[in-house]
Amino acid sequence: MDRLLARYPFLSAAREAVGEEGGDMVALVADGGPPVERAVERVETCLREGTVGDPHRDPRTELLSYPVARALVSLVDEPVLVRRYADAEARTAHRRFTADLDDDRELQSARGQRISLRRLLAEFDLSGKVEDAPEGYRITVGRYLSLSGEDWRLVARPLADGWVPVSREELMALLREAVRERVAEGLPQAVPEEIADGLADEVAGVESLLADRSPPREFDAVAPELFPPCVTSLLARVSEGEDLEHHSRFALVSFLVSMGLDAEEVEAIFERGGTGAETAAYQAERLGDDGRAAYAPPSCEAMEALGDCVNPDDRCETIDHPLSYYEAALDDAGTVPDWRETGGSILDRLSGD
């Protein structure tokens, strides 16, 4: 059994290996043995920690747990789970291949488990499209654009004959995105009834974990350009001097406090529009510190019911909370400058001034 395929089960060669090792999937699932247990762990850990956890010591179990986890995610059939699962597989793979590629010691025990850059590039149609360059690598514009998403713009990037220079870290991030796309591809998939029956208890377990999940509360950076559309709209209304209704002000202030803004910073934002600054500061003060842990902004469902869900975009389809939107946007963007380090006003940053 190829250990490398167990560590990287999204590789195309792994599909064939699953067929050879797995035999009858219906029987495998009905058996409920280690591959099913590890599949549940893969999915639950993606919700709890944002990774798929440590690999099982038995490579066959590890390999077979991947298609079972995909079936489980498909049966739960929630966009937020598909997104988090694909992110978690990609994050885990990124850690593994970064370590593999950084570590050029040929330890006997690890021989055959490590992936090479050449193989990764070939897997994702990047052979001949990534080359060594003086400062790291260069990648063709077409593949750069397809993998970098809208947040890694070409602005300020030197372009030469259709190539874009990227650092090693950026190349690793592009490969992570390629893995994320590969994992998300085809999810949710159709699952035969017999397999669905065999996974009924596991599906119920994941559904209940999903229902209990509170929104994320810790973020690496405050990046106003990544705020969800509802929050951007509320900020625009404030800057135009509109006196927000209580529920809208609460949604905005609690979001800003969740970002780590203090009462003074919130007050400064409302002062620009000239309305409601004192109330907002008071609210932020009460929500701050201890309150921050207790009061998250309203969920998307509540925002919609109150008329505060405005201009939802594609990412909104995959989340259920404005803070989850922001977390997903940050994940997709990679490294972004923190608003506090760049200075200026949040409103100016949103309007591009």
State in angstroms the smallest separation of the CB of 51 from ligand SF4: 24
- Residue 258 to residues 12, 119, 253, 312, 322: CA-CA distances in angstroms? 41, 42, 8, 20, 11
State in angstroms the smallest separation of the CB of 242 from ligand SF4: 18
Interface pick for ligand SF4 out of 222, 230, 238, 257 (rule CB under 6 A): 230
Cβ contact 244:237 at 8 Å = yes
Q: Which is nearer to ligand SF4, 259 or 316 (CB)?
A: 316
Summary count for the chain: helices (H), strands (E):
20, 3
| Total Cβ atoms within 10 A of residue 122 | 13
Q: Which is nearer to ligand SF4, 40 or 231 (CB)?
A: 231
Binding string, residues 171-210; x marks residues near ligand SF4 by CB under 6 A: ----------------------------------------
State in angstroms the smallest separation of the CB of 216 from ligand SF4: 13
Range in contact with ligand SF4 (rule: CB under 6 A) among 10-18, 40-48, 128-136, 228-236: 228-236
Q: Does 330 bind ligand SF4 (CB under 6 A)?
A: no
State in angstroms the smallest separation of the CB of 146 from ligand SF4: 25
Instruction: For residue 214, give the nearest of 305, 89, 314, 299 by alpha carbon.
Output: 299
Residues recorded for the chain: 353
Range in contact with ligand SF4 (rule: CB under 6 A) among 54-62, 169-177, 224-232, 240-248: 224-232
Q: Which two tokens stand for residue 304?
A: 């919609």
* φ/ψ (deg, to 5) at 195: -70, -40
State in angstroms the smallest separation of the CB of 184 from ligand SF4: 19
Cβ contact 234:254 at 8 Å = no
Q: Which is nearer to ligand SF4, 276 or 322 (CB)?
A: 322
Q: Does 224 bind ligand SF4 (CB under 6 A)?
A: no
Q: Which amino acid is at 70?
A: R
* φ/ψ (deg, to 5) at 290: -65, -40
Q: Which two tokens stand for residue 264?
A: 């003074």
Share of the chain residues as helix, strand and coil, in percent rounded to the nearest 5: 65, 5, 35
Instruction: For residue 324, give the nearest of 298, 286, 305 by alpha carbon.
Output: 298
Q: Does 322 bind ligand SF4 (CB under 6 A)?
A: yes
Q: Which is nearer to ligand SF4, 61 or 248 (CB)?
A: 248
Burial environment of residue 106 by CB neighbours within 10 A (0 to 12, 13 to 18, 19 or more)? exposed
Q: Residue count at the site for ligand SF4 (CB under 6 A)?
A: 10
Among positions 281-320, residues that touch ligand SF4 (CB under 6 A) are: 300, 303, 309, 312, 316
Q: Which residues bind ligand SF4 (CB under 6 A)?
A: 228-230, 300, 303, 309, 312, 316, 322, 325
